[in-house]
Structure 1
Amino acid sequence: MKPAVPFLLLVLLGMSGLGPAQVRSSLLDLANSIGSVLPSLSRPANHSRIFYAVMFDAGSTGTRIHVYTFIQSDSVELPVLDNEMFHSIKPGLSAYADFPEMAGHTVRMLLKVAKKTVPRLEWKRTPVFLRATAGLRLLPTEKAHALLNEVQHVFVESPFLVTDNCVTIMNGTNEGILAWISLNFLTGHLNAQTKKTVGILDLGGGSTQITFLPRLRKTIETVPVTDYVARFDIFNTTFELYTYSYLGNGLMVARLATLGALGGEGLEWQVFKSPCLPKKFRDEWSFGGVTYQVSGDPEGYAGFKLCYEQVLKVVKGIIHQPYEIEDSNVFYAFSYYFDRAVEAGLIDGVQGGTLEVRDFKKRAKEVCNKMAKYPLNSPFLCMDLTYIACLLKDGFGFKESTVLQLTKKVNNVEASWALGATLEHFHNLKIH
């Protein structure tokens, strides 16, 4: 990695107010603190350095903070993740599209977690970032920028290290790649001797991602457009991934599409009905700062078959099926895949577990055909499980017998793109 060292040094020294006589010791202290960000100085063998990073995940349904503690040894290129402190707040920043100051308040609240986790003497050396995903990508540009500017202002006021482009909207391709890096780092597959890796399936509120390392060249050669292929170099190894992010196919936006509530005027005055909802159900539902009137169809039919037909329209012709997807990778599925599997009683909420694709479809049938038993606690469970089953089978093309690893955490670390984004910063990945 070759970061802009002079810029980082000027920023840090300017913030710390050091005099000329103190510069030399400060430089040594700085290099020891953030390890691989700066060139190695001469130090004893087996010397280890501890450094920190603060990453905000600004998703469509919530804002999460990850505070990472790393240990870097001179003897290895990969740092060791010693600890993660995680906390989240709902709703997402996009809910404050017309009130950006509220977004700033959310970030200030979460920064308290960072202050309690990172030693005070390390604050000025600890970089802080916010990466926004589909929630802000779906907003009008001017509203998204107003939210980002408010976050930037809060970061500048904070005691942490603010670098160039520390507050940005992340594109969907990078989201998938960085999630892949996170999971393969945590499962021990990210090194130069990699023979086997794990694929990732991430289902957020606004978008969904699939990323894996193909074994067959034809998988790369048969993609619809080159946007489905990404390459990056890390630790002297080049990875060529199949990866794509489908904006608008996250679970919450899929609800809107299923209900027929995407776009249009006067949405607050309409009642959106669906056979995926209990017949006697009627309530308000909010997403992205907009409140919708939703209900079942009291005069029509409800159940899995009609729901599947409605959901299939949201997936068919949109999701590409890779040439190679079966038996090429173990796939880890997280975010709403995990949450809905827990809610449906398919896996343990702490340990996670393995499921076959058909398990989502089977439970969807049970829930949808007996919605009278789920009128209050989980009115959207039929729709959500049906969408997941449809997305996996009719969308990506997984066989019903395909086994997925459902997880929320790996080695006590949140399964998400956030760790990969942090590693990207420290190792300056070239993703293209």
Structure 2
Amino acid sequence: MAPPTANDPWLAGRHFGIVIDAGSSGSRLQIYSWKDPRSIRIEKNSELAYKLPKVEKGTRDSDLWVTKVEPGLSSLADNPQDVGAYLRPLLSHAREHVPPSLQKDTPLFLLATAGMRLLPPKKQAEILLETCRFLVTHSNFKIEDASSVGPCGSSVRIITGEEEGLFGWIAVNYLMDGFSGSSKDRTTYGFLDMGGASTQIAFEPSAESQKMTKDLIDVRLRLLGGHEIHHKVFVTTWLGYGTNQARERYVGKTITDYESVQNGHEHNDYHDDDDFDEHHMIPDPCLPKNLELDETPVHLTDPSTSHLKKKHKMLGTGSFEQCMKKTEPLLNTTKPCPDTPCLMNGVHVPPIDFSVSHFIGVSEYWYSSEHIFGLGGAYDFVQYERAASAFCSRDWSNILKEHEESRSQHHLGGDGEVVKDGKVVDAGQWGPQVEIPRLQMQCFKAAWIANVLHEGIKMPRLVDPGGNDTTDGEKVAAEADKKGLGRPTFQSLDTVGDIAISWTLGKMVLEASKEVPALGKTAKPLVDPIDDIEDIEHFPIQPIRPPFLSLDGIEDRLSPHLPSSLTRSSLGFSPVLFLFYVFVIFFVLAFG
């Protein structure tokens, strides 16, 4: 489909922005658009003056604003020369749907996440350099010049989990009107995100807590009337606390504990088997009853436990309550806290007043609530616990029978993790090839989510408007009968309206906000929150900068060895940056 033409009314005064979310299982290109803030007439005292630019899908066809390629960009670690072929379908899609006359003013960002973070710095740098080269030479989109951030400035880079959290926090509050209105008393929503490897939290502490917290990030946005709003946000991430890695840690601990008990009671020749003895069934309350799974623990570092890394057979005993008890220690809530207060794993988090702060959970918080239990949205612990207990205790054969009946009647639905060659490569409607892994892990994931919420970040199971709360499970059922509990403390969401909640949306809201004219000429330019940290070297969150791409650092080391006539001060420009451009041009001519 051709992009809209110049005389199309929908296109009048419209700006575009593109984000490629380079994740671990694939890269997803999303096209956003918004009306030029400078073309919007704002009447005096208008409510519109206190709103952010309206960011929408970048195509009128709701399905064409996004496209994806697989697997992840990080899979090219040993073949960076293939980056061009990998990105070509994404770039072609963008060029097809953004009018050619607007492409030079359309910012394009490729922001890589978990998969790229795991690569060695040299591999990261090689992929980023090749990505930059391809995007610059094969498109007319707006891409930043080389800088100390990277070969394409901040247009092509790896972002931290904390940056994902900050952009997600912006997206949630944008969609939930957390920023709108002129009232200073308006409270923003907290943001919770959980994937397979990590979980993030981002929220605005109370005014009292802000006075006692030093590790806050200033999030600045500009409303359509030119007024700048500031929010002090705390964000942190827990690596290894996503559902998949939590499961791996749980499996390792369960097998170790089981072996310890067995060795303490009788001689066990189980270790001598080349594969595994299927007569040794390790009971697992986190699997539906009578489900058998072969598991191989990966989180064992003690050489004396190497024999445990063989396959073991887990047998589901189906108890949500026991699963909650067995997974709770994995939160590490008793780990020493160097900077109080702490939540999980000794990580400092400012106090959270849940009677005031309300949270939105996305990704796994939504999947684990909605796609089996049908309980997405406002969170009710009593309903959630009952649904999880009922599901976990069901016999696996019964679950499979219902799955087959639903499939034959085309009643399947949900996030549907599509597994290919052992890797999650897509998410769509459930079907026979995609629903089974979700059903197998639903009991564990439901318990892990509940433990993270209530034992991890200490969210009360119930909060009433007066601020009274309880974490005592025995009292929850009685308290739940009370009426008028007000705005829910926690909601799991996937979309608001027809817009998906995504950190990429938060990034685009920030970009659109940057286009709003400031009220004064001396106003400080809007930047990404991480770039607003003044003393970044001593801040706990450090941006990811592959070492040999740090041009300023190279120049600092070379300058003392250069003749005075070849320094930046004598030439009026950076000789290192000049040589870098020469290298890039040579690379393009030689290999383009």
Choose which of 203, 224, 228 in structure 1 pairs with 2:194: 203
- In the alignment, what sits opposite 1:21? none
Which amino acid is the alignment partner of residue 178 of structure 2? H
TM-superposed CA distance for 1:69, in Å, is: 0.9
Amino acid at match of 1:251: T
Cα 1:67–1:394 shift into 2, 3 Å: same
- Say if 2:121 is the partner of 1:141: yes
Match of 1:395 among 453, 456, 473: 456
Aligned ranges 1:19-418 → 2 under 5 Å: 49-74=13-38, 75=41, 78-84=52-58, 85-100=65-80, 105-159=85-139, 160-163=141-144, 164-191=153-180, 193-194=182-183, 195-218=186-209, 220=210, 226-227=214-215, 229-235=216-222, 236-260=228-252, 275=284, 276-277=286-287, 279-282=290-293, 296-298=313-315, 301=317, 303-317=319-333, 318=344, 322-347=350-375, 353-370=377-394, 372=396, 373-374=398-399, 376=436, 378-401=439-462, 403=488, 404-418=490-504
Taking the aligned partners of 1:166 and 1:274, their CA distance within structure 2 comes to 50
CA contact (8 A) 1:259 1:274 kept: no
Q: Name structure 2 gaps, 5 residues minimum.
A: 1-5, 7-11, 43-48, 59-64, 145-152, 223-227, 254-273, 299-308, 334-343, 401-435, 464-487, 515-525, 534-592
2:418 corresponds to 1:429: no
Pair member with larger Rg = 2
Change (3 A) 1:260 1:54: same
Give the TM-score normalised by the residue count of structure 1: 0.73
d(CA) in 2 for partners of 1:56, 1:247: 23
User: How has the CA–CA distance of structure 1 residues 134 and 171 changed in structure 2, closer, same or farther, with 3 Å as cutoff?
Assistant: same
- Greater relative contact order (Cα 8 A, min sep 6): structure 1 or 2? 2
Q: CA deviation at 1:240?
A: 0.9
Instruction: Give the letter aligned to residue 60 of structure 1.
Output: S
Task: Decide whether aligned partners of structure 1 residues 114 and 98 sit closer, same or farther in structure 2, where only a CA change above 3 A counts.
Answer: same
Change (3 A) 1:63 1:312: farther
The secondary structure found in structure 1 opposite 2:440 is coil
C-alpha displacement at 1:367, in angstroms? 2.7
Q: How far apart in 1 are the matches of 2:352 and 2:154?
A: 36
Structure 1 equivalent of residue 3 of structure 2: none
Deviations 1:31-83 (A, max 9, x none): xx9xxxxxxxxxxxxxx731111001223344222201110233457322242
Contact 2:16 2:32 in 1 (8 A): yes
Structure 1 residue 99, shift from structure 2 partner? 4.8
CA distance in 2, matches of 1:361, 1:113: 44
Q: State the shift of 1:295 in Å.
A: 6.2
Tell me the distance in 1 between the aligned counterparts of 2:446 and 2:129. 37
Whole-angstrom CA distance in 1 between matches of 2:124 and 2:457 = 30
Relative distance call for 1:156 and 1:253 in structure 2 (3 A) is: farther
Segments of structure 1 that go 5 or more residues without pairing to the other structure are 1-32, 34-47, 262-268
Count of residues in Structure 1 that have an aligned counterpart in Structure 2: 367
In structure 2, the residue corresponding to 1:246 is in which secondary structure?
A: strand
CA contact (8 A) 2:206 2:353 kept: no
Do the aligned partners of 1:274 and 1:307 also contact (CA within 8 Å) in 2?
Answer: no
Q: How far is 1:394 from its partner?
A: 0.8
Shift of 1:209: 1.5
- Relative to structure 1, the CA distance from residue 156 to residue 396 in structure 2 (aligned partners, 3 Å threshold; closer, same or farther) is same
Check the 8 A contact 2:205/2:350 in 1, yes or no: no
**Matched residue type, 1:277:** L
Name the CA distance, whole Å, in 1 between partners of 2:283 and 2:158.
Answer: 33
Determine the C-alpha separation between the residues in 2 that align with 1:258 and 1:97. 30
2: distance between equivalents of 1:135 and 1:187? 30
1:238 CA displacement: 1.8
Task: Answer whether contact 2:373 2:388 (CA < 8 A) is retained.
Answer: no
Q: Provide closer, same or farther for how the CA distance between residues 281 and 322 of structure 1 changes in structure 2, counting only shifts above 3 A.
A: farther
Give the drift of 1:102. 6.1
What is the rounded CA distance, in whole Å, between the counterparts of 2:142 and 2:311 in structure 1?
45
- Report the identity percentage: 27
Q: CA deviation at 1:379?
A: 1.1
Q: Which residue of 2 aligns with 1:5?
A: none
Q: Which amino acid aligns with 1:233?
A: R
**After the TM superposition, which of the residue ranges 136-145 and 64-73 deviates more from structure 2?**
136-145
The Cα offsets for residues 293-314 of structure 1, whole Å up to 9 and x where unpaired, read as 876524x855334432342233
Range that drifts further, 163-172 or 274-283: 274-283
Paired letter, 2:134: V
Secondary structure in 2 matching 1:162: coil
CA RMSD in angstroms comes to 3.5
Contact 1:60/1:205, CA 8 A, preserved across alignment: no
* 1:419 equivalent among 491, 494, 505: 505
Question: Hey, what's the Cα distance between the residues in 2 that align with 1:104 and 1:217?
Answer: 51
In the alignment, the residues of structure 1 paired with residue 349 and residue 393 of structure 2 have an alpha-carbon distance, to the nearest angstrom, of 29
CA 1:283 to 1:49, structure 2 compared with 1: closer, same or farther past 3 Å?
farther
